[in-house]
Amino acid sequence: MQFPTPLIKGKLIRRYKRFLADVELVDGTVVTAHCTNSGSMKTCLEEGAPVYLTPVNDPKRKTKFTWEMIYINNGWVGINTSIPNLLAYEAVRDGKIEKLKGYTTVKREVKFGDSRFDIFAENESEECFIEVKNVTMKDGDYALFPDAVTTRGRKHLETLIKVKQQGMRAVMLYIIQRMDVNKFAPATGIDPEYAKALKKAYKAGVEIIPVQAEVSPEKIELVRELPFEL
């Protein structure tokens, strides 16, 4: 995925009220950017670190920039939570994830029961529901999810089990927007209930696919599947 317009460089002053961040641009101007990430952003926040923003030309928006990435630990970390859904959709549609190749129809935002999944894919022989999560938290070599307690995330896992029980394919796809990790695991110390739910879902046949993305100011690209531990 390439950014359609050039990004604006700055440095992070602070993130506050979850959805706002003050950024000092190269020319010294201070702007407020929208932060799409509602989590704690643990291990990807550092005041004074370089960041990139997307300019937004929408008169209805109070903030005229969207925060895309931050430079941490000698690499860019993608913090825009809307990006993984687009990356995943394009990758499944174009057959770029090895375990999710071969689908002739790929749709976004499809309902199942009282849940809405990010991607639905099908071919002549099977139907597949895919839930996508953005991963930015790091602990040593591990990418961890979630970085805050998520009851919604547990609900998605429970519904994916129902998908599997009805004879369809159910996939939990984690998009890891940083390159300084080599494995994926649930963040048991932050949300032990989510970790339990993920183990339960895996035992019930829900597939876990963690995919690492290389982030740069020009583009974000899926590069490899990572192993996982539960």
Instruction: Convert the pLDDT of each residue in 3-14 to its tens digit.
Output: 999 999 999 999
Question: d(Cα 57, Cα 8) in Å, to the nearest integer?
Answer: 13
pLDDT for position 60: 85
pLDDT-derived band at 114, boundaries 50, 70, 90? confident
Contact call for residues 200 and 184 (beta carbons, < 8 A): no
pLDDT for position 17: 92
Query: Average pLDDT over the chain, rounded to whole?
Result: 95
Question: d(Cα 163, Cα 140) in Å, to the nearest integer?
Answer: 34
Give domain limits for the chain.
Answer: 8-77, 83-225
Contact call for residues 181 and 195 (beta carbons, < 8 A): no
pLDDT for position 103: 96
Question: d(Cα 118, Cα 108) in Å, to the nearest integer?
Answer: 5
- Mean per-residue pLDDT for 111-136? 94
pLDDT for position 58: 85
The CATH class, in words, for 83-225 is alpha beta
For every residue of 42-82, DSSP letters joined together read TTS--TT-EEEEEE---TT-S-SEEEEEEEETTEEEE--TT
pLDDT for position 34: 96
- Mean per-residue pLDDT for 5-34? 96
The answer, yes or no, to whether residue 96 has pLDDT greater than 90, is yes
The residues near 200 (Cβ < 8 Å, ≥ 6 apart) are: 157, 161
Cis peptide before 6 (omega within 30 of 0): no
What percent of the chain clears pLDDT 90, i.e. is strictly above it? 93
Q: What SS3 state is found at 193?
A: helix
The CATH class, in words, for 8-77 is mainly beta
- Mean per-residue pLDDT for 152-169? 96
pLDDT-derived band at 38, boundaries 50, 70, 90? confident
What percent of the chain clears pLDDT 70, i.e. is strictly above it? 100
Question: d(Cα 197, Cα 40) in Å, to the nearest integer?
Answer: 21
Give pLDDT tens digits for 175-227.
Answer: 999 999 999 999 999 999 999 999 999 999 999 999 999 999 999 999 999 99
Phi, psi dihedrals of residue 85, rounded to the nearest 5°: -60, -45
- Cα 33 → chain centroid: 19
pLDDT for position 61: 87
Task: Let me know if the fold of 8-77 is the same as that of 83-225.
Answer: no
The residues near 174 (Cβ < 8 Å, ≥ 6 apart) are: 132, 133, 135, 143, 145, 184, 208, 209, 210, 211
pTM of the model: 0.94
